[in-house]
Amino acid sequence: MIANTLRTASRLVTPGAMHRGAPAAAGVAGPIRRFNLHEYQSKDVMDKYGIRTQNGKEASTPAEARAVAESIKATNPGCELILKAQVHAGGRGKGHFKENGMKGGVKVLNEVAEVEDFAGKMLGNTLVTKQTGDEGQKTSLVLINEGLDIESEKYFAILMDRDYNGPVMVASSQGGMDIEEVAETSPEAIVTEAIDIFAGVQPEQTERLARAMGFKEENIPEAQQQMSNMYDMFLGTDATQVEINPFAEGKYVGRDEKSTVFCVDAKLGFDENAEFRHKDLFALRDTSMEDARDVEASEIGVEYIGLDGNIGCMVNGAGLAMGTMDIIKLKGGDPANFCDLGGGVNEKQVSAAFGVVAGDPNVKAVLVNIFGGIVQCDIVAEGIVKAYKNSNSTLPLIVRLEGTNAEAAREIIEKAAISTLISAENLDDAAIKAVASIQ
């Protein structure tokens, strides 16, 4: 993810100063609960914080797209019309649609009829980009913007960085392209500023970034103001990521005499732990853009992370999850996912969580590793046995249970008398048995 790439880059920076350096590869972190907005939703939020975005509106049908285009043309007949597929991924302009082979999820058009035509080719079809993988994402909405005469394109982001226990601003003069590519080929073009969470963003910081991005002298004050407004939004919405690409200089053709600063494309991410403070914001969540298993796990009240292997993992605690996956790898296996039950699950949640883990088509075996503390092992065992029987599953199920009520849990497993349900003495034993069960 771009956030991980740039978060790593920002770790090379001394707080309060601007430095340059090549970002290293991002490591694997524990589960991070966040949700994203579509571009049109992000721009609606940005408008409330005085952040300048393009004139435009979303549409769900070709006829609606035409109506939006007509409205834009009514105020500026000579303008271009920018049509964008709304999915939760970058690289839309270089993507393609599975069903009809059309290239490009972003179109620069001149005529209202073209907007209607291309919207029809986007809506209901699956856009594949570098960030979606081969499965792509279905396009249910498009955004139509009034075109700009863009003079220069920059990149700007605000990300949370755990090394500084707070936010870091990341910028580049090379906007309008894949920032991952910039980080790889021109790391010196990425500059960062760590933000003191008590003092907030300082004018000298935004000035340094504006100059590093190459804004014209007359546009530097406005670029500074826009960056400051974005930090206000970052704090005000409990965001984990604000990404603007491109952060541009330009003007509306036919109705502006001089250029100013625009946030042309935006991606915002938010920490789900702040949902109680932002009910209206989280009501905008589009679950159709998310992995169905992630959504189901969220509804159950557990954490789920999908991976690429073939051994599913059910654990309680992120640390135990990391340890479980490490040992599976050491024994020659490969984790397909992990589901963190947390500390307060009940039998019904355990049963439902098993369905999520075992429902991954890549899973050939499931390893359950529970260290009972607050969560009781017998409750986990009851839930697993019930789910296993109800699902008519034949997957090997390896169970290691230690801690509160572990003896009672082992008795439940033994009484179930299921040949493919295998008890393990410890985690090492469980990993060996899980790997052996699929070889």
* Cα atoms in the 13 Å half-sphere on the side-chain side of 107: 23
Per DSSP bridges, beta strands 365-372 and 397-403 are: parallel
Non-local CB neighbours of 143 within 8 Å, separated by 6+ positions: 38, 39, 40, 56, 57, 58, 59, 82, 83, 84, 86
Using H for helix, E for strand and C for coil, what is the string for the chain? CHHHHHHHHHCCCCCCCCCECCCCCCCCCCCCCEEECCHHHHHHHHHHCCCCCCCEEEECCHHHHHHHHHHHHHHCCCCCEEEEECCCCCCHHHCEECCCCCECCEEEECCHHHHHHHHHHHCCCEEECCCCCCCCEECCCEEEEECEEEEEEEEEEEEEEHHHCEEEEEEECCCCCCHHHHHHHCHHHEEEEECCCCCCCCHHHHHHHHHHHCCCHHHHHHHHHHHHHHHHHHHHCCEEEEEEEEEEEEEECCCCCCCEEEECCEEEEEEHHHHHHCHHHHCCCCHHHCCHHHHHHHHHCCEEEECCCCEEEEECCHHHHHHHHHHHHHCCCCEEEEEECCCCCCHHHHHHHHHHHHCCCCCCEEEEEEEECCCCHHHHHHHHHHHHHHHCCCCCEEEEEEECCHHHHHHHHHHHCCCCEEECCCHHHHHHHHHHCCC
pLDDT for residue 345: 67
pLDDT for residue 394: 87
pLDDT for residue 10: 37
pLDDT for residue 171: 96
Compute the residue count for the chain.
439
Rounded distance between C-alpha atoms, residue 418 and residue 431, angstroms? 19
Which CATH number applies to 1-53+148-290: 3.90.105.10, 3.80.10.10, 3.40.50.2000, 3.30.470.20?
A: 3.30.470.20
Annotated active-site residue 243? The verdict is yes
Rounded distance between C-alpha atoms, residue 160 and residue 72, angstroms? 37
Domain 292-436: CATH superfamily is: Succinyl-CoA synthetase domains (3.40.50.261)
Contact 249, 227 (CB under 8 A): no
Structure token pair of residue 17: 């100063």
Question: What are the structural domain ranges in the chain?
Answer: 1-53+148-290, 55-146, 292-436
Structure token pair of residue 233: 């939004």
pLDDT for residue 27: 30
Rounded distance between C-alpha atoms, residue 314 and residue 321, angstroms? 8
Q: Count CB atoms within 10 A of the CB of residue 267.
A: 20
State the maximum Cα–Cα separation within the chain, in Å, rounded to a whole number: 81
Rounded distance between C-alpha atoms, residue 249 and residue 122, angstroms? 29
Non-local CB neighbours of 430 within 8 Å, separated by 6+ positions: 367, 369, 398, 399, 400, 424
Annotated active-site residue 116? The verdict is no
Instruction: Report CA 189 to chain centroid distance, whole Å.
Output: 24
Low-confidence ranges of the chain (pLDDT < 50): 1-33
Per-residue model confidence as pLDDT tens digits over 354-408: 888 888 889 999 999 988 776 788 888 888 888 888 887 889 999 998 888 888 9
The gap between the terminal CA atoms of the chain, to the nearest Å, is 33
The model's pTM is: 0.69
- Classify domain 55-146 at the CATH topology level: Dna Ligase; domain 1 (3.30.1490)
Task: Identify the active-site residue in 58, 64, 146, 243.
Answer: 243
Exposure b/e, 65-79, CB count within 10 A at least 16 = b: bbbbbeebbeebeeb
Contact 303, 339 (CB under 8 A): yes
Task: Identify the active-site residue in 64, 116, 153, 155.
Answer: 155
Rounded distance between C-alpha atoms, residue 267 and residue 90, angstroms? 9
User: Look-up: residue for tokens 């915002």?
Assistant: 268
| CA dihedral sign of residues 184, 186, 188, 189 | negative
